[in-house]
Amino acid sequence: MAGSQLRPSASAPSVRQRMQATLRRDTPPELKIRSLLHRRGYRFRVDARPLKSQKSRADIVLKRFRVAVYIDGCFWHGCPLHATWPKANASWWREKIESNRYRDARANAVLMASGWVVVRIWEHEDPSTALDRIVHQLESRPIGLSGSALPKPSASGKMVPLDGKDDPNQPRRRAQRS
Protein backbone atom coordinates (compact mmCIF):
# COMPACT_ATOMS: atom_id res chain seq x y z
CA MET A 1 0.00 0.00 0.00
CA ALA A 2 1.03 3.61 -0.39
CA GLY A 3 1.87 3.85 3.30
CA SER A 4 4.66 1.32 2.81
CA GLN A 5 6.83 3.91 1.06
CA LEU A 6 7.73 7.37 2.24
CA ARG A 7 5.79 10.09 0.48
CA PRO A 8 8.01 11.54 -2.23
CA SER A 9 8.56 15.27 -2.45
CA ALA A 10 6.58 17.15 -5.07
CA SER A 11 8.04 17.25 -8.55
CA ALA A 12 7.57 21.06 -8.74
CA PRO A 13 6.44 23.89 -6.44
CA SER A 14 3.25 24.33 -8.49
CA VAL A 15 2.38 20.65 -7.96
CA ARG A 16 2.95 21.05 -4.23
CA GLN A 17 0.63 24.09 -4.10
CA ARG A 18 -2.08 22.30 -6.10
CA MET A 19 -1.96 19.25 -3.83
CA GLN A 20 -2.08 21.40 -0.69
CA ALA A 21 -5.07 23.34 -2.05
CA THR A 22 -7.07 20.16 -2.68
CA LEU A 23 -9.97 20.05 -0.22
CA ARG A 24 -10.74 16.91 1.78
CA ARG A 25 -14.37 17.94 2.19
CA ASP A 26 -16.74 20.68 1.00
CA THR A 27 -15.57 20.36 -2.60
CA PRO A 28 -17.72 22.13 -5.22
CA PRO A 29 -19.41 18.85 -6.35
CA GLU A 30 -20.20 17.95 -2.72
CA LEU A 31 -21.65 21.38 -1.97
CA LYS A 32 -23.87 21.30 -5.07
CA ILE A 33 -25.22 17.80 -4.38
CA ARG A 34 -25.79 18.59 -0.70
CA SER A 35 -27.66 21.75 -1.65
CA LEU A 36 -29.90 19.87 -4.09
CA LEU A 37 -30.56 17.11 -1.56
CA HIS A 38 -31.39 19.64 1.16
CA ARG A 39 -33.78 21.49 -1.18
CA ARG A 40 -35.63 18.21 -1.65
CA GLY A 41 -36.18 18.14 2.10
CA TYR A 42 -33.69 15.47 3.08
CA ARG A 43 -31.52 15.96 6.14
CA PHE A 44 -28.16 14.29 6.52
CA ARG A 45 -24.78 14.27 8.19
CA VAL A 46 -21.69 15.55 6.41
CA ASP A 47 -18.26 13.88 6.51
CA ALA A 48 -19.48 11.27 8.98
CA ARG A 49 -18.90 7.62 9.74
CA PRO A 50 -21.92 5.55 8.73
CA LEU A 51 -20.81 2.86 11.20
CA LYS A 52 -19.00 3.82 14.37
CA SER A 53 -16.81 0.74 14.00
CA GLN A 54 -15.65 1.81 10.53
CA LYS A 55 -12.84 4.27 9.92
CA SER A 56 -14.22 5.33 6.54
CA ARG A 57 -16.15 8.61 6.47
CA ALA A 58 -18.84 9.17 3.86
CA ASP A 59 -19.37 12.59 2.31
CA ILE A 60 -23.13 12.39 3.00
CA VAL A 61 -24.77 10.03 5.49
CA LEU A 62 -28.53 9.55 5.58
CA LYS A 63 -28.58 7.36 8.66
CA ARG A 64 -32.36 7.02 8.81
CA PHE A 65 -32.31 5.40 5.38
CA ARG A 66 -28.98 3.64 5.82
CA VAL A 67 -27.59 5.31 2.71
CA ALA A 68 -23.97 6.49 2.50
CA VAL A 69 -22.90 8.75 -0.37
CA TYR A 70 -19.29 9.13 -1.44
CA ILE A 71 -18.33 11.80 -3.98
CA ASP A 72 -15.02 10.60 -5.34
CA GLY A 73 -12.40 12.74 -7.05
CA CYS A 74 -11.38 11.43 -10.45
CA PHE A 75 -7.65 11.62 -9.74
CA TRP A 76 -7.63 10.31 -6.17
CA HIS A 77 -9.97 7.39 -6.77
CA GLY A 78 -8.89 6.38 -10.27
CA CYS A 79 -11.91 7.35 -12.40
CA PRO A 80 -12.07 5.06 -15.44
CA LEU A 81 -12.87 8.06 -17.68
CA HIS A 82 -10.62 10.80 -16.33
CA ALA A 83 -7.90 9.28 -14.17
CA THR A 84 -4.38 10.15 -15.15
CA TRP A 85 -1.26 8.42 -13.95
CA PRO A 86 1.43 10.92 -12.97
CA LYS A 87 4.79 10.50 -14.65
CA ALA A 88 6.79 11.87 -11.70
CA ASN A 89 6.92 9.41 -8.81
CA ALA A 90 4.78 7.09 -10.94
CA SER A 91 5.13 3.92 -8.87
CA TRP A 92 4.29 5.72 -5.62
CA TRP A 93 1.19 7.37 -7.14
CA ARG A 94 -0.02 4.13 -8.74
CA GLU A 95 0.27 2.37 -5.39
CA LYS A 96 -1.47 5.28 -3.61
CA ILE A 97 -4.42 5.41 -6.02
CA GLU A 98 -4.79 1.62 -6.10
CA SER A 99 -4.82 1.55 -2.29
CA ASN A 100 -7.59 4.20 -2.35
CA ARG A 101 -9.61 1.99 -4.71
CA TYR A 102 -9.06 -1.03 -2.47
CA ARG A 103 -10.12 0.97 0.61
CA ASP A 104 -13.27 2.14 -1.23
CA ALA A 105 -14.20 -1.44 -2.18
CA ARG A 106 -13.60 -2.63 1.38
CA ALA A 107 -15.77 0.20 2.81
CA ASN A 108 -18.54 -0.67 0.33
CA ALA A 109 -18.45 -4.34 1.34
CA VAL A 110 -18.58 -3.59 5.08
CA LEU A 111 -21.47 -1.16 4.72
CA MET A 112 -23.48 -3.44 2.42
CA ALA A 113 -22.95 -6.37 4.80
CA SER A 114 -24.45 -4.15 7.53
CA GLY A 115 -27.56 -3.38 5.47
CA TRP A 116 -26.47 -0.02 4.07
CA VAL A 117 -26.73 1.17 0.49
CA VAL A 118 -23.62 2.85 -0.89
CA VAL A 119 -23.90 5.45 -3.65
CA ARG A 120 -20.59 6.38 -5.28
CA ILE A 121 -20.54 9.48 -7.44
CA TRP A 122 -17.63 10.74 -9.54
CA GLU A 123 -16.82 14.42 -9.25
CA HIS A 124 -17.41 14.87 -12.99
CA GLU A 125 -21.01 13.58 -12.85
CA ASP A 126 -23.88 16.00 -13.40
CA PRO A 127 -25.20 16.94 -9.92
CA SER A 128 -28.85 16.56 -10.99
CA THR A 129 -28.22 13.05 -12.31
CA ALA A 130 -26.31 12.20 -9.14
CA LEU A 131 -29.20 13.53 -7.06
CA ASP A 132 -31.64 11.33 -8.98
CA ARG A 133 -29.48 8.27 -8.18
CA ILE A 134 -29.43 9.16 -4.49
CA VAL A 135 -33.17 9.88 -4.29
CA HIS A 136 -33.93 6.62 -6.12
CA GLN A 137 -32.06 4.73 -3.42
CA LEU A 138 -33.77 6.69 -0.64
CA GLU A 139 -37.22 6.06 -2.08
CA SER A 140 -36.54 2.35 -2.49
CA ARG A 141 -35.59 1.87 1.17
CA PRO A 142 -38.47 0.33 3.17
CA ILE A 143 -38.21 1.85 6.66
CA GLY A 144 -35.68 4.00 8.43
CA LEU A 145 -33.68 2.99 11.47
CA SER A 146 -36.10 4.63 13.85
CA GLY A 147 -38.96 2.53 12.50
CA SER A 148 -40.70 5.59 11.10
CA ALA A 149 -42.04 5.52 7.58
CA LEU A 150 -40.28 7.18 4.70
CA PRO A 151 -40.95 10.87 4.16
CA LYS A 152 -43.56 12.05 1.66
CA PRO A 153 -43.79 15.34 -0.22
CA SER A 154 -45.79 18.02 1.61
CA ALA A 155 -47.82 20.72 -0.13
CA SER A 156 -44.63 22.77 -0.36
CA GLY A 157 -42.82 19.88 -2.11
CA LYS A 158 -40.54 19.20 0.86
CA MET A 159 -40.23 15.71 2.28
CA VAL A 160 -41.92 15.09 5.63
CA PRO A 161 -42.50 11.90 7.63
CA LEU A 162 -45.78 10.11 7.01
CA ASP A 163 -46.70 10.51 10.67
CA GLY A 164 -47.07 14.27 10.13
CA LYS A 165 -44.33 15.29 12.56
CA ASP A 166 -42.43 18.34 11.41
CA ASP A 167 -45.03 18.92 8.67
CA PRO A 168 -45.43 22.71 8.38
CA ASN A 169 -48.98 22.17 7.16
CA GLN A 170 -50.00 20.39 10.36
CA PRO A 171 -50.90 22.48 13.43
CA ARG A 172 -48.54 22.16 16.34
CA ARG A 173 -50.07 21.04 19.59
CA ARG A 174 -49.00 22.39 22.91
CA ALA A 175 -47.89 19.91 25.47
CA GLN A 176 -50.51 19.60 28.17
CA ARG A 177 -49.44 20.29 31.72
CA SER A 178 -50.30 17.74 34.32
Which domain does 123 fall in, by range? 22-140
What b-and-e string marks burial along 41-51, b requiring 16 or more CB atoms within 10 Å of the CB? bbebeeeeebb
Give the mean pLDDT of 73-85.
Answer: 85
Q: Is residue 160 part of a domain?
A: no
Q: Is residue 146 part of a domain?
A: no
Q: Is residue 84 part of a domain?
A: yes
pLDDT band with cut points at 50, 70 and 90 for residue 52: very high
Indicate whether 153 pLDDT > 90.
no
Q: What is the pLDDT of residues 114-150, one digit of tens each?
A: 999 999 999 999 999 999 999 999 999 875 554 444 4
Q: Which of the two residues, 69 and 160, has the higher pLDDT score?
A: 69
Predicted pLDDT at 15:
52
Between CA 82 and CA 123, with CA 137 as vertex, the angle to 5 degrees is: 20
Looking at every residue in the chain, the average pLDDT score rounds to 79
Eight-state DSSP code of residue 12: S
Q: Where are the alpha helices (DSSP H) in 83-153?
A: 90-113, 127-140
Predicted pLDDT at 164:
43
Q: Is residue 77 part of a domain?
A: yes
Predicted TM-score of the model (pTM): 0.71
Q: Is residue 78 part of a domain?
A: yes
Q: Considering its fold, how many domains does the chain have in total? A: 1
Indicate whether 161 pLDDT > 70.
no
Q: Is residue 9 part of a domain?
A: no
